Amino acid sequence: MKPIITFARWGNYTIAFETLFKKMGLEVIPPEKINSQTILEGAKLSPEMFCFPLKATLGSYLPALKKGANTIFMVQNAGGSCRQRYYGRIQEKVLKEQGWEINFIDFKTTPKDIYSELKKISRVSTWQIFQAARFFLKELHLIERIEKEAQFLRPREVEKRQTDKILDWALLEIDEIDDGRRLLKLKKEILKKLSKIKIDKEKDVLKVGLIGEIYTVCDPTINFEIEKKLGWERIEVHREMDITYHLKKAIFPWKDWIIQRKINPYLKSTVGGHGRDAIYEMLNYVKKDFDGVIQLLPAMCMPEVTVRPILEKIHQESGIPFLSLSLDEQVAEVGIDTRLEAFVDVVKNYHKNI
């Protein structure tokens, strides 16, 4: 059986993952964009009490499976102690119970394991895998770069929604590219276009930090495009959480040690997932005198729920506006919008009162 690959959808980074597999000469059917329909289908199949990303990703496989994909890639221990570890097993079980003939590849996030799994499935030379990985990282870096640029430009742009237009165009262009030289050219072009956006330098822009669980924070379709909405309200969004951050932490352990040292007065142990990072980032934003912090989490996410009382304690001590949004398949966009609007009002008045 020739492997036709699909994988979990993850925001704008899906493009980079797609080219990683394509570069290795594998046939790929990218997962469907997450919408209410796919979420509903995923939730119908998956265990009721499981956390939201499992349901969302399961829903995003289904259309690809219907198109003929037969191999699914899922990472196994991205979350440390939390139940993300069992995603692969549960999804495999659920899909097989539904009668899908699939090959589920459940790999660990160690470079060695990733390499051996890729080698086994693609049967290409080590050099080609290396090249593909290098290109993947470059593309990932570019996507993250333009996301960051957009976060900066959105609140400052003179002509409204111009940044988003360029961002959408750029993502489409990146999707089509598959060699390094053209990527470099495109990078220059995108950055040139972004730099041509007229911005209002005089304007003092409010700053809000986005913390929480990595999947919900990074995927704009899951979090109802919270970055854009805040940007249009003239608020600059900062977020540290992205794949590069996660990969760096997986490779270099000292980042964890630094985080632990900084948060020692609040929490003396890991709680799995990115629980510690949330506290660290929040303390950082308080120190930098931000105007607010938003925590995003899938409902019942174990690490984030565990640290939430601590975040609330920091919020009480410092007075920084804090909003915690738990997302799941039953949350409606309107509900989130209302809470965001109220939060934006609080943020706008936070520094005025002092």
Partner 1 sequence: MKIGIPRALIYWKRPIFWESFFEGLGFDVLLSPNTNKKIVEMGVNASDPETCFSVKVFFGHLLWLDGKCDPIRKSSISNGVNLIFVPRMKANEGKLEYCPKFFALPDLAKIMVKTPILTATFDERKEKFETTLQKLGKKLKRNKKEVKRATETAFLKEKELREKEEKEFFEKIKSEKRKIILISHPYNLQDEYVNLRLEEKLEKLGAEVIFIDEVPNKQLTTYNLQQITTKKQKLSVVSCQLSVNFHWEFGKEIMGKIDELFEISRAKNVQISGAVEISSFPCGCDAVLKEFVEREFKQRKTPFLYLMIDEQTGEAGFQTRLEAFVDTL
CB 94, min distance to partner 1, A: 8
Q: What is the nearest approach in angstroms of partner 1 to the Cβ of residue 38?
A: 21
Nearer to partner 1, 268 or 352 (CB): 268
Instruction: With contacts defined by CB under 8 A, name the span among 206-214, 234-242, 245-253, 295-303 that binds partner 1.
Output: 295-303
First-to-last C-alpha distance (Å) of the chain: 67
Q: Which stretch binds partner 1 (CB under 8 A): 198-206, 219-227, 228-236, 271-279?
A: 271-279
Give the integer Cα–Cα distance in Å for 108 and 246. Answer: 14
Concatenating the DSSP letter of every residue in 108-168 gives: -SSHHHHHHHHHHHH---HHHHHHHHHHHHHHHHHHHHHHHHHHHHTTTBSSTTHHHHHHH
44 touching partner 1, by CB under 8 A: no
Check binding of 271 to partner 1 (CB under 8 A). Answer: yes
Q: Assign 219 to helix, strand or coil.
A: coil
**Any idea of the CA torsion for 122, 126, 128, 130, to the nearest 10 degrees?**
110
Does the footprint of partner 1 cover residue 215 (CB under 8 A)?
no
**Phi, then psi, of 180 in degrees rounded to 5:** -60, -40
Q: Which of residues 74-113 bind partner 1 (CB under 8 A)?
A: 81-83, 85-86, 89-90, 93
* 212 interacts with partner 1 by CB under 8 A: no
Handedness of CA 307, 313, 318, 321 (dihedral sign): positive
Question: Closest distance between partner 1 and the C-beta of residue 112, in Å?
Answer: 19
The span from the CA of 23 to the CA of 167, in Å, is 24
Residue 304: CB minimum distance to partner 1, A: 9
Residue 346 main-chain phi, psi, to 5 deg: -65, -45
Number of residues that bind partner 1 (CB under 8 A): 35
Site residues for partner 1, 148-167, by CB under 8 A, read none
Residues within the interface to partner 1 (CB under 8 A): 47-51, 81-83, 85-86, 89-90, 93, 266-273, 275, 299-303, 305-310, 313, 326
